[in-house]
Structures are given as structure tokens and as C-alpha cells.
Structure 1
Amino acid sequence: MGPPGAGKSTFINNAAGVDATKVGHGLKPCTATIQHVIVQYPDDPTCRVVFVDTPGFDNTFLDVSAILRQIAVWMARSYGDKMKLAGVVYLHEMSRVRMLVTSRKNLGVFNRLIGNDATRSVILATTKWGDVEEEVGSQREEQLSTALWKEMVEQGSRTARFLNTRESAWNIVDLITEREPLDALQIQKELVDLEKLIPETEAGSTLCTILKELVGVHKATVGRL
């Protein structure tokens, strides 16, 4: 998971060793629907890893509520089929000079979607290190760990660098598989166990608040024109 352009599809393609998912290079994101790719574990041919590529919530070309619905429905179905998630990789590109407001909100919805109990199984992976100087990137990495990601790190999330290589992708997967699989994400429990509607979930409620804020900003902007 992560904002559009963070490198989600690139991460999966590197892990798979083939172009299994389409990578976007323009303004319009390529991941418009959930995609999954099945790959054999490099050191264990008897083990399979299923990578799930999701659209980002600050995707301006897709309705954000529709994105949440896609993710929620997939999560609910997989949970209903007794398929457990090993963990979640949340990607953030280091080439961004500032953490945009939309990216902060993306992370906010993400946190509500997974819940506190699943935070220990999240890998916060930084990408696009080739676009920044090592010293600058290290400073930004430190700022992320001690500010934006501070609470998640304190709750057990770990950080890692994706260096656009197969090796670094599987090093991140190893961080996940060395721990026990998740029982369930918060949104899975809410939709299946508690039988809530999507707008009634924590993620849905948070997204509704964000949308109301965006509508308010839009109206204020139009009023000034």
C-alpha cells in the first residue's frame, strides 16, 4: 500500500522477477484496481507468496470512496475464505521534498484500515533512493521515523529501504514472514465479524471526514475566485 507513484507495482515486479504489474510513468496512476501476483519464495519452492497491489487513496483519477470499497471488499472476501495476511508493506518515496497533506491523509486512512493490532506487521519501506543524495535521504528517513511514523514504529512497525532490486524486495518480505501471520486487519473484523457497512468502519468514517474537509476547501476556493 501507499500513495500513487510510491513504487508499489515496481516493488512487486522486482520481487517477481518479471513485469507482473503495470508501472505508471506519467501523471495518471496505472493501478486502478486491486491486482494480485503469486510468486514462489526464492529459497523455498514449496512456499508461495501472494502480493496484493492496491490503488493509493490520494489518487485524483479515481473516487477515493470507490478505492476504499475495492480494498474493503477484497479484504472481507479473503478473510471470509480464511486467508490470513502475513503483513503489509507501506511505501513512501524519498524523492518527495515535503510530506504532502494528501499523503498524511493517506497514512491516516491506512492506519484506520489496519488497526493498532496489525501495526507490528507493517513494514514502512522507503523508495526511489536513486533520486536523492544519500545524506539527504538519510535525513528524511530519520525525520519520517521520529515524526510522521513515530507512533507506528513505537507500536512495532519496522522501517526498510527498497533499492529497486529483487534482493531488497525479498529482504523486506523476510521481515514480514519471520513473524506470525496477522489474525485480521481492523476493517476485516469490522466488515465480517461485526457486520458493519463500509461507511461505519473506522477507515470509512475517517475518509468521510476527509472528503467533507476537501469539499469545504473547494467551496472556499471557488468563493474567492
Structure 2
Amino acid sequence: MSTIGDRLDTVRTRIHEAALRHGRDPATITLLAVSKTQPAEALREVMACGQRAFGENYVQELADKADALADLRPEWHFIGPLQSNKTRLIAGLAHWVHSIERDKIARRLSEQRPGEAVDLQVCLQVNLDAEASKSGLAPEALPALAEVVAGLPRLRLRGLMAIPAPSEDFATQRRAFARLREMQEDLIRRGHQLDTLSMGMSGDLEAAIAEGATIVRVGTAIFGSRRVAGRGGQGL
């Protein structure tokens, strides 16, 4: 029976091989272990294998784990939908937020980020296929939101995040990720200094890497099936 460490090694190998296959430097790709619904003990096990960055979808769950794992100081990435009444906790605890889709949320994070903290690293989430079940802004709204977020203090706009419609076809996966990459390239042409594409999960990370992913969000392939059913989320 494989252990968490074994599964983590397998994911790291997949990332390394995909990067080399597509002419990428593996060192330019960050593995984000999506740990939603997993107990703090499981994160400790993964951290013992050298993993530092963890993605959480639920505000209170991130807060509880940040407290339980304060001695290890993980790097926390918030990747779920964020309501305006929950921004203060995230502004104080997270190192990254991948899921900004409204200027109101960005403004609140900027206002509530502690003055002594380094800038909060942020990505804008795009809903590539207008799926009602997924968060994210429409592609045509992206330039305007990027202008707002780039001008806010205590935030640093790093790039884009998306969760394409699921597909088992590699070419279809690549086309979706290529669309996000092209949106980022357009923003760069508009003067934004962006370096992050948060895309790719357990089932499609190879296609994401082929199209320039710099952060891949992997949960199931590391931790196994989610411990709690019936809660939506982003980033396995």
C-alpha cells in the first residue's frame, strides 16, 4: 500500500518528466499540495517529505490548520471562493490568494493586510467556459480587474488561475490551458508584470505544464480521496 510520501514522490516525478518533455525547467514549477479536508497530521507527514506550500479552500479550515501547524510555518495558499466577510482572516494568514474575481474582495484584502506583513501574492481567477458551478470572472472582464488589483497597496498581482472544464483528452486539456496563457500574455503586453499561471491538477497537470503552468495544484494524487464529501472546491 502506497504512503503519502510515495504518492508525493510520484507527483514530483510526473512534474519533472512533463517539464523536460516540453522543454521546461522543472525548477520553475511549484507543486501546491491541496490539503482541503485533510487533517493537520497528514500535512505534517507531507512536510516531513519536504513539501512547504499548501492550498486550502475554506477559510476556517485554513485558520485552524495555521494554528495547529504554526511550529512548521507552512506557506499557505487560499484557492477557494472568498466572501467579503471572511477576508480579514485570509489577509492575515495567507501568503497567496489564487481566487480573486471581484474588486471588492481585492480592496478588502488590501485594506486588511497587516502593515508588518509582506505583500499578499495574488492571482485572478478566470472562468474559462462560463461554468455556473465554478467561480471566476469572465475573460472579457479580466483587463479591468487587473488594472484595479495592480494598483492596490499590500497586494502583488502575480498572474492568473483557472479550472477548465474536465476532459480526459490531452489536446483538449492543452487548448484550455493555452487560452489562459494567452490571456496572461495579453495582460503582459498591457504592461503588467506577471509570472504565475496557477493551473493543472491531479488529472491534467502534464497538459498544464506543456502550456506554461508555474503552479500546479494537486490534492487527490498526494492525499488520496477527500476525507469529507459534499463540499465544493477548487484545485484537486
User: TM (normalized to structure 1)?
Assistant: 0.39
- Larger % of helix: which? 1
